[in-house]
Amino acid sequence: HPYLEFHIDGIRVNVVPCYSVEKGQWKSATDRTPYHTDYMRQHLRPEMRLEARLLKRFMKGIRSYGAEIRVGGFSGMLVETLILHYKSFLDTLVQASNWNPVIFLDLEKPTSSQDSKPRDLHSPLVVIDPVDPNRNLAAAVRGDKLWGFVAASRELQNNPGTWYFFPPKPTPRTKAKFAKLLEHQNRDVVAISFEHSRMVPDVLWGQLLKMEKALTELMIRQDFHPIKSTVWSDEGRSSAILVEMDTSTLPGVQLRQGPPISKMDDSQGFINRHLNANDTVRGPWMEDGRWVVDKKRRILTMEQLVTMALKDRKLGLALPDQLSSSFRQNVKVLENRQIVRLLGRESFDQALSEFLAAKPAWLKPHH
């Protein structure tokens, strides 16, 4: 969907076109917006508007506000609908604290009939669009943003403060501080970084999130055990996937499980395949009623993993279309203190700080 963006006095303004259609005769994704505006003008009383603004500020502070792909959070319409449903900011938080999936909210239907509604099975949160009963306003809310909101809602009640709404900027760190931090993480941190052409943020982030998934799944298949990962982008030409794991260097041998010894044909096949093979380091031998064998591991490091996956299709790395060729051409794998090379790029320092901290900024020690 095309739109126009410009900035006046530091305020970003989006002009988004839509078709003027009858309710229900939607021709494009934004045609509901005038109906949304009308609906809220009619139903959202002035004091509830303040509650909605408070909830938006809270969600912004805890990083759950915004339907853009980068965030994957709650849209403005969704927040306003929650306020219409629960009446106030605090009641929304109290109710959200108890949310148990699948959560189903429909303003326009009496509560009793809700169980018979067809539900959106892919979504843990279903909030029926008051101007379109076939649409789930929360369909694009990602799990981490939903549960971040639930967790922060509880925490604000346990440990109230203003930092949920206005999180302090993290104190900037020097390159040396970051290097030290990266070396003393007790784990290995890897940045898979690459340059690419400019594209619309929603497209870019969609592609980057797919890439994060493809890469971490590749790591899991190859015995690297990613503990957490995130995506950074300057939304221009540079992006990186950050991954943390216990170790980014695997041992040179890999124990491979074979068939149960009781299965004669499978056992014979396993022995024939491995006994004289060049890449057999040791064995086969028998362990707990099965054949096992030590094989030479082809892929020991993250750098090797990425390089091999670009050459060998059998490793099954499916890169998203619009980033694939850039990634192939200039991907760099940086480990631990090498990652400081990316410092200074737009928003990278903060992204790295938050990644290394892991704990959400709003979760503060209880006193």
Give the residues lining the site for a second copy (CB under 8 A).
97-101, 143-144, 147-148, 150-151, 154-155, 158, 186-187, 227-228, 246-247, 251-253, 255, 261-262, 264, 267-268, 271-272, 275-276, 281-289, 294, 357-360, 363, 365-366
Closest CA to 231 of 213, 247, 219, 248: 213
Least distance in angstroms from the C-beta of 58 to a second copy: 17
> CA–CA separation, 205 vs 137, rounded Å?
20
Nearer to a second copy, 203 or 357 (CB): 357
Nearer to a second copy, 210 or 263 (CB): 263
Nearer to a second copy, 142 or 210 (CB): 142
Closest CA to 270 of 292, 287, 254: 292
Nearer to a second copy, 62 or 77 (CB): 62
Least distance in angstroms from the C-beta of 206 to a second copy: 20
Nearer to a second copy, 24 or 143 (CB): 143
Residue 334's Cβ-count burial label (10 Å; 0-12, 13-18, 19+) is buried
DSSP bridge pairs for 11? 8
Least distance in angstroms from the C-beta of 49 to a second copy: 29
Residue 125's Cβ-count burial label (10 Å; 0-12, 13-18, 19+) is buried
First to last CA, the chain: 49
Nearer to a second copy, 42 or 262 (CB): 262
**Single-letter amino acid code for the residue at 278:** N
Least distance in angstroms from the C-beta of 277 to a second copy: 10
Closest CA to 346 of 198, 234, 242: 234
Instruction: Return the H-helix or E-strand segment holding 148.
Output: helix 143-158
Nearer to a second copy, 268 or 329 (CB): 268
Q: How crowded is the C-beta side of 275, counted as CA atoms within 13 Å?
A: 8
> CA–CA separation, 59 vs 78, rounded Å?
12
Least distance in angstroms from the C-beta of 24 to a second copy: 34
Least distance in angstroms from the C-beta of 163 to a second copy: 15
> CA–CA separation, 13 vs 287, rounded Å?
67
Closest CA to 335 of 213, 192, 233: 192
Least distance in angstroms from the C-beta of 262 to a second copy: 5
